[in-house]
Amino acid sequence: MTSPGSEAESAPPPSDSVSPLPKSLIATVIKRLRGDRPVRRTLPGDGRLHIDRQLPYICLYRRPEEGPDLGTETLVTATASYLIGPGSVDQRPGLAQLVDALCEQLSEIFGALLVIEIRTTSFDRGGSIRVRMPDDVGLPGFGEHVRRSLQVTAREFELSDGVGLRLGKTDNDAATIMTAARARELRTTMITVEIAPFYRDPESGVVYPEVLRKLRKSLWHALSRSVHRFSCSYTNRCPVNYHMMGRRAVVKAVREADRQLADASESFDFLLQVTPTNSESCWQAFSDSGFDRAPSFRYRPLPWDPVHIKRQIWAAPVDQIEDPTLGEIFRQQQDELDRQVNLIVDRETPRFVLGASQIFGEVRPALVELANDLLKRYPSTAAGPDKDGINAQEFAAQAEAEIAYYREQWDGFEATVEIRSDVARGLLVSRGRLFIGEGTVISKSRVEALLHHEIGTHILTNANGKLQGFRLLGVGLAGYDPFQEGIAVLSEYLCGGLTAARLRLLAARVIGVHAMLNGASFVDLFGQLNGELGFEPRTAFTTTVRIFRGGGLTKDAAYLQGLVEILDYVASGRPIETLFVGKFAAAHLGVITELLQREVLRPPRLLPRYLQVDKYKSRLARLSAGVQVIDLLDE
C-alpha cells in the first residue's frame, strides 16, 4: 500500500532536530494508544489530536498556510479519530513526525491503516467532491467504493457535479506529510477527499452553520462506510456495523450540555403546570349548569422565572459538541424546552394552542380516519360509572407493590406514588412520580394494564434513561410523547388489558383534538362525546378537560398515533428491548440504534415484567406478523 501521488517521493524523513513537538508528547500519545486509552491533546500551532480508542483510521486536516479556511476543520471533528495540523511551514516537520508515529503504532495493531485527509479546493471539473488516491495501492475497487459512498452526500446536498475519483500520481505537494515509500513500509493507505466549500459564502467567506452541521453528519456517515469496508477487507478487525467506527467516549462538553438541559427540564413540571387544580369543583359547576356553561380553570402559579429558565437552556454548550449525532438531538432538546416554557407562560391565551401544535403536532387526516373507523367498529355501550372498581388508596397500594418488584431487580429503581387532590381523576406520571387523583376509581379489569402502562413503561424508561449517563434520556428526548404512549398502550394489549372501551377512548381523544383545532368549544366537544359518541358524562367531561387544559393541548392525540408507530416497529422485527433504553421519539430510532452499536448507550438495565411472561410473549409474536390498530382486538 502507498500514499497518494501527491506525496512527494523525495520528501525528507522526519527529523528530531527540526521537530517543534516535544518527544515526551509523542511518547505519551503512543503509550496511551498501546493501552487502548483515549488521546486528547492540544498541539503546538493550535493543532489538535483526538483518538477515541484504537481504530484503523485517522482523519487528517492541515490548515492551509495561505489563509483562513473557515468551517473545514470541523468536518474531521465529527470522527472518532482525527488530527488537525497547523498550517505554518515550521510546524510541518513535527506534524510529519507525529503522523509517522501514529501510523507505525496503529498499523502494527491492525495490520494496516487508512489515513483520510480532508481539504477544500476550488475546481471546475471532476466533481464537487473529489477523491484522490494512487492507482497502485493494491486495494481493488476501494476507490470506487469511497466514491459511491460520498455520492450519497452529493445527492443529499444536490451537488450537480457529483463525486469524482482521480487515481494516479499528481504534482508534487510541498506540504507533504509522508512519502509513498514510507507509507508502503507502514502499510498505510493515504487518500485525499477534496470538497468545494459550498457551506460558506463564496465572497464573504461567512459559514452557513446549518449547512455545515448537516454536511459533517452526512460526510462522516459516508466515510465511515468506507472505513468499515477497509477494515473488514485489509485489517485484522471487522466490526459488525459501520457505526462502530464512530465515537464511543462521552466527552466533557456532552456531559455538561446534558446536565444543564436536564437541570432546566427538571426545574419545571410541564404537565402539572398545564393541568387545572380545580377539576372536581369544575365538574360540579358544569353539571349544575346542565352541561351548558364552560368551566373556569385555575392553574398553579409559576414557581420560577421564565427568563431564568430560558437563559439556562440556551447556556448549555451544545455548540461545543463535536459528535454530530449527539449534537443534533441536544439542539432539538433546547428548542423543545424553550417552546415548553413559552407554552406554560401562554396558558389560557390564544397563543397556547398554537404553541401546543408546534410541540405535539396537529392531527393528520389518516389518524382522524382511523379514529372514526375505531368508533364505528366498537360502538358505544353507554356504560355508567364502574361499580366494581378500586379507589385511589387501593390502587396506590398495588402501585407500591409493582415498584417493589422492580426494586428487587435493581435496588436503584426510584419511584414514588402520591395521591393528590389537585390532580383530576385519573393517573399522571412525571419524572418517576405517579400521581393519582384523589377521586379516582379504577376498574379491577384495568388495574394490571395501568400498572404496566404507568410503571412498567413511563417510570421504567425514566429509570433506564438516567442509567445511560444521559439524564435527558430519562427526562425524554424532543417529541418523545407519541412513541412513549404507544409503548404504554402496547403494554396494555400484551397483558390482556386493552379493551374496546379503551380503544374508543383513545379514538375519542383524537376526534376531540381535531374538533378543538377546528373551532369547537368546550361545551360543543362535551356534547359530541356525551351525545353523538355515547360516552357517559364524567368520562366525556374528563376527556374534554384534558383537551382544553391550558387553552387547547393537542397532546392527547399522541396515544393513538403512538400505537400506530409502535405496531409498525414490532412488525419490522427490530428488537423490542431497544424501546426501553429511555424516552425517545420514533424519529430517534435510527439514532438510538446507532448509539447502541457505537456502545455510547447500553442495553436497558430493566425490562418490563410483562416481557417475562409466556402468554404475553405469544401476543407479541402475533404482532410481529403485522397487525393494524383496527384489527388489534380480533384474536
Q: pLDDT-based confidence at 593, cuts 50/70/90? A: very high
Q: pLDDT-based confidence at 10, cuts 50/70/90? A: very low
Q: pLDDT-based confidence at 20, cuts 50/70/90? A: low
In a domain, residue 280? The reply is: yes
Quote the percentage of the chain above a pLDDT of 90: 73
pLDDT of residue 370: 98
Distances, alpha carbon 312 to alpha carbons 256, 346, 470, in Å: 12, 20, 18
In a domain, residue 56? The reply is: yes
pLDDT of residue 138: 67
Q: pLDDT-based confidence at 386, cuts 50/70/90? A: low
Q: pLDDT-based confidence at 92, cuts 50/70/90? A: confident
Residues 6+ apart with CB under 8 A from 186: 100, 103, 104, 107, 113, 178
pLDDT of residue 6: 32
The helix (run of H) or strand (run of E) holding residue 353 is: helix 351-360
Q: State the amino acid at position 240 in one-letter form.
A: V
Q: pLDDT-based confidence at 17, cuts 50/70/90? A: very low
Whether the pLDDT of residue 573 is over 80: the answer is yes
Between 143 and 537, the higher pLDDT residue? 537
Whether the pLDDT of residue 102 is over 80: the answer is yes
Q: Are residues 24 and 129 in the same domain?
A: yes
pLDDT of residue 494: 93
Whether the pLDDT of residue 5 is over 70: the answer is no
In a domain, residue 288? The reply is: yes
Q: pLDDT-based confidence at 285, cuts 50/70/90? A: very high
In a domain, residue 501? The reply is: yes
Whether the pLDDT of residue 527 is over 50: the answer is yes
Domain boundary among 245, 277, 295: 245
Whether the pLDDT of residue 15 is over 50: the answer is no
> For residues 471 and 487, what is the distance between their CA atoms, to the nearest angstrom?
20
Q: Are residues 239 and 100 in the same domain?
A: yes
Q: Are residues 26 and 117 in the same domain?
A: yes
Burial of 82 (0-12, 13-18, 19+ CB in 10 A): buried
Q: Are residues 227 and 366 in the same domain?
A: no
Residue 195: closest CA among 163, 237, 168: 163
How would you classify residue 575: left for phi > 0, otherwise alpha for psi between -120 and 50, otherwise beta? beta
Whether the pLDDT of residue 2 is over 70: the answer is no
Q: Are residues 485 and 381 in the same domain?
A: yes
Average pLDDT score over residue span 113-135: 78
3-state secondary structure of 73: coil
pLDDT in tens, 210-249: 999 999 999 999 999 999 999 999 999 999 999 999 999 9
Quote the percentage of the chain above a pLDDT of 70: 92
How would you classify residue 129: left for phi > 0, otherwise alpha for psi between -120 and 50, otherwise beta? beta
In a domain, residue 259? The reply is: no
Whether the pLDDT of residue 334 is over 90: the answer is yes
Q: Which of 160-169, 290-299, 480-489, 558-567 has the weakest average pLDDT? A: 160-169
Beta strand 433-437 pairing with 441-443: unpaired
pLDDT of residue 86: 85
Q: Are residues 437 and 585 in the same domain?
A: yes
Between 455 and 122, the higher pLDDT residue? 455
Distance of CA 333 to the CA centre of its chain: 9
pLDDT of residue 468: 92
pLDDT in tens, 167-210: 665 443 544 688 888 999 999 999 999 898 989 988 888 999 99
Q: pLDDT-based confidence at 144, cuts 50/70/90? A: confident
Q: Are residues 52 and 138 in the same domain?
A: yes
Beta strand 47-51 pairing with 39-43: antiparallel
Q: Are residues 544 and 410 in the same domain?
A: yes
Average pLDDT, the chain: 89
In a domain, residue 622? The reply is: yes
In a domain, residue 308? The reply is: no
Q: Which of 80-89, 124-133, 359-368, 552-561 has the weakest average pLDDT? A: 124-133
Residue 329: closest CA among 583, 152, 59, 77: 583
Total of domains in the chain: 2
Q: What is the CATH number of the domain that holds 148?
A: 3.40.630
Q: pLDDT-based confidence at 14, cuts 50/70/90? A: very low
Boundaries of domain holding 540: 269-303+346-631
> For residues 453 and 542, what is the distance between their CA atoms, to the nearest angstrom?
19
Q: State the amino acid at position 42 in one-letter form.
A: T
Whether the pLDDT of residue 9 is over 50: the answer is no
Q: pLDDT-based confidence at 309, cuts 50/70/90? A: very high
Q: Are residues 283 and 237 in the same domain?
A: no
Which residues are bridge partners to 430 per DSSP? 433
Q: Are residues 436 and 520 in the same domain?
A: yes
Domain boundary among 213, 245, 277: 245
pLDDT of residue 618: 85
Q: Are residues 507 and 399 in the same domain?
A: yes
In a domain, residue 144? The reply is: yes
Q: Are residues 292 and 213 in the same domain?
A: no
